[in-house]
């Protein structure tokens, strides 16, 4: 059995100890056929060489180098390209940077043509996704795109038009579908154990280590990210759409910036704040980029090219996204979702309750039970297993419970996954790079395409509109460019 090591873990997120290991549980990893002899490798370009690109670079220079090869970089910042070019060269055993051709966004079409690119992997700032996907498709390449698909209805229309006009392929990387605990809940629902779903309650909490990070980066501006209701929650809305196999029809939302930002800091009497995290001392909300070699290389040593600061103070002016959000979603077949997202919790994880006509399923996940601050530095218990084991009240772990009417509750065993995001990353990458080698269809339907991306974004886009108007929003009124139902005419 192949062993796996986690890659591309955000340094502020909980380490993948919950639901992940080096050896996957039985039946978790799909069966793939061997690579046919003599088949040429697909040619990949990476558009956007920030932190998230690392997962794909590592995959194409490691486990999946036999089926795909990196042939070009696209990014406006040459220092970030330098970092990944050196990483790729080292991983491929060259002992020096790979020396791959590099392009700026303006030259995307020339890149696809000159380098005979088969697929563009889009891992850029969210607001650029629609343009890069559209242009890549029209240049003749397929696309693999990180979530979210895009940030607004106009972006959805642009992408759906490009797919219709070109017939090219778009793969959405919804890695949480591949986490075994989430797949187990999907199976419970699909089996009819709880009957027809009548409602879902979904609460997600980000702790003050990980949650604060969205308020340091470009995500803090809604024009860049669509806010957490699009950038972060598209993961969650996709899970619900996939779990219950339905599409959203109406959305109402309420939310505000109630913890981060300069006004909240002043109201709580926090006093003067450091301009940036690097160099700040004794502040639990500061991120020193020098503490992580990759962040230092990708951002601190790249600032002189574009002025972007990865370590902004989460209590500085200029934040336009919310940190507390509640959403009510109606679905086509009658189920209702109640959803909440909090970005300043003392622990990190999520709780899902699925009510049906035959019973109820409950999934509780603790990814990090607490964070300790000794006045000088932070302790992340997920990074030190002994410390994590000492949290007896809220230990890291997960539990899936199913209870039928008039019966005792039963616990469903969840197998281990591999990689980050609940043990799903490495399995996702197999589907991304080897899906044509799959032996048989996936009964859980974990692979996602552009339509799944539109369905997930639809909830967040409608929720943002509801925040502005104070009224419920009909999804069909957004004009997303494609019907959301699988059987709808296109």
In whole angstroms, how far apart are CA 275 and each of 285, 310, 316, 371, 428?
Answer: 12, 12, 8, 23, 38
Instruction: Write out the residue range of the structural domain in which residue 301 sits.
Output: 262-306
Is the residue at 331 inside a domain? Answer: yes
Q: Is 472:251 a contact under the CB 8 Å cutoff? A: yes
pTM of the model: 0.94
Q: Are residues 133 and 197 in the same domain?
A: no
The token pair that represents 328 in the structure block: 């009510």
The pLDDT of residue 3 is 36
Is the residue at 430 inside a domain? Answer: no
- Taking residues 33-59, what's their average pLDDT? 95
**110, 138, 173: which is the final residue of a domain?**
173
Looking at the chain, the whole-number percentage of residues with pLDDT higher than 70 is 92
- Residue 111 belongs to a domain with what CATH number? 3.40.50.720
Which is more confident, 281 or 222? Answer: 222
Q: Are residues 236 and 333 in the same domain?
A: yes
* Distance (Å, whole) CA 221 – CA 314: 12
Q: Are residues 339 and 408 in the same domain?
A: yes
Q: How many domains does the chain have?
A: 3
**133, 150, 173: which is the final residue of a domain?**
173
Which is more confident, 394 or 10? Answer: 394
In whole angstroms, how far apart are CA 230 and each of 14, 152, 289, 459?
Answer: 21, 9, 26, 8
Is the residue at 426 inside a domain? Answer: no
Q: Is 130:56 a contact under the CB 8 Å cutoff? A: no
Which pLDDT band, with edges at 50, 70 and 90, does 302 fall under?
A: very high
Which pLDDT band, with edges at 50, 70 and 90, does 148 fall under?
A: very high
Q: Are residues 232 and 361 in the same domain?
A: yes
Flag whether pLDDT at 4 surpasses 50. no
The pLDDT of residue 5 is 39
Q: What is the pLDDT of residues 344-402, one digit of tens each?
A: 999 999 999 999 999 999 999 999 999 998 877 787 877 766 665 678 899 999 999 99
Flag whether pLDDT at 65 surpasses 50. yes
What sign has the CA pseudo-torsion 416, 10, 349, 178?
A: negative
* Distance (Å, whole) CA 406 – CA 395: 30
The pLDDT of residue 420 is 59
CA angle (393, 286, 395) in 5-degree steps: 15
Is the residue at 84 inside a domain? Answer: yes
Flag whether pLDDT at 490 surpasses 60. no
Q: Are residues 147 and 290 in the same domain?
A: no
Tell me the residue length of the chain. Answer: 490
Q: In angstroms, how far apart are the furthest CA atoms of the chain? A: 67
Which pLDDT band, with edges at 50, 70 and 90, does 27 fall under?
A: low
The pLDDT of residue 21 is 52
* Distance (Å, whole) CA 67 – CA 329: 41
Q: What is the pLDDT of residues 424-465, one digit of tens each?
A: 788 899 999 999 999 988 999 999 999 999 999 999 999 999
Looking at the chain, the whole-number percentage of residues with pLDDT higher than 90 is 83
Q: Are residues 249 and 281 in the same domain?
A: no
């Amino acid at each position: 059995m192949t062993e796996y090591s986690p890659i591309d873990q955000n340094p502020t997120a909980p380490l993948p100890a919950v639901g992940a290991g080096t050896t996957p549980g039985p039946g978790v990893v799909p069966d793939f056929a061997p690579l046919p002899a003599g088949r040429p490798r697909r040619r990949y370009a990476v558009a956007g060489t920030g932190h998230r690109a690392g997962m794909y670079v590592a995959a194409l220079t490691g486990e999946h180098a036999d089926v795909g090869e990196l042939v070009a970089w696209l990014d406006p910042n040459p220092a970030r390209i330098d970092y990944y070019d050196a990483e790729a060269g080292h991983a491929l055993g060259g002992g020096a940077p790979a020396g791959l051709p590099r392009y700026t966004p303006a030259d995307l079409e020339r890149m696809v043509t000159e380098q005979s690119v088969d697929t563009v992997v889009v891992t850029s700032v969210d607001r650029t996704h629609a343009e890069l996907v559209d242009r890549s498709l029209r240049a003749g390449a397929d696309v693999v795109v990180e979530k979210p698909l895009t940030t607004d209805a106009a972006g959805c229309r642009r992408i759906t038009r490009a797919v219709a006009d070109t017939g090219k392929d778009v793969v959405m990387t919804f890695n949480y579908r591949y986490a075994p605990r989430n797949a187990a809940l999907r199976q419970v629902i699909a089996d009819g154990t709880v009957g027809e779903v009548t409602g879902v309650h979904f609460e997600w909490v980000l702790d003050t280590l990980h949650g604060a990070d969205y308020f340091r980066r470009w995500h803090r501006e809604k024009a860049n990210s669509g806010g957490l209701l699009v950038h972060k929650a598209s993961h969650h809305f996709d899970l619900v759409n996939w779990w219950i196999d339905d599409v959203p029809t109406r959305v109402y939302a309420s939310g505000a910036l109630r913890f981060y930002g300069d006004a909240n800091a002043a109201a709580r009497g926090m006093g003067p704040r450091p301009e940036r995290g690097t160099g700040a001392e004794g502040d639990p909300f500061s991120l020193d980029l020098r503490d992580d070699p990759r962040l230092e290389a990708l951002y601190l040593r790249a600032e002189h090219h574009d002025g972007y600061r990865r370590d902004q103070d989460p209590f500085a002016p200029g934040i336009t996204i919310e940190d507390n959000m509640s959403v009510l979603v109606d679905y086509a077949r009658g189920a209702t979702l109640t959803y909440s997202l909090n970005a300043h919790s003392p622990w990190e994880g999520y709780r899902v309750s699925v009510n049906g006509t035959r019973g109820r399923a409950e999934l509780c996940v603790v990814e990090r039970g607490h964070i300790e601050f000794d006045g000088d530095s932070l302790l992340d218990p997920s990074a030190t297993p002994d410390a994590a084991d000492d949290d007896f009240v809220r230990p890291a772990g997960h539990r899936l419970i199913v209870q039928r009417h008039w019966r005792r509750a039963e616990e469903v065993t969840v197998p281990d996954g591999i990689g980050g995001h609940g043990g799903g990353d490495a399995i996702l990458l197999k589907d991304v790079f080897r899906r044509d080698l799959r032996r048989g269809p996936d009964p859980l339907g974990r692979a996602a395409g552009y339509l799944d991306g539109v369905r997930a974004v639809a909830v967040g886009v409608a929720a943002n509109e509801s925040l502005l108007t104070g009224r419920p929003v009909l999804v069909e009124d957004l004009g997303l460019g494609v019907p959301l139902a699988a059987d709808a005419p296109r």
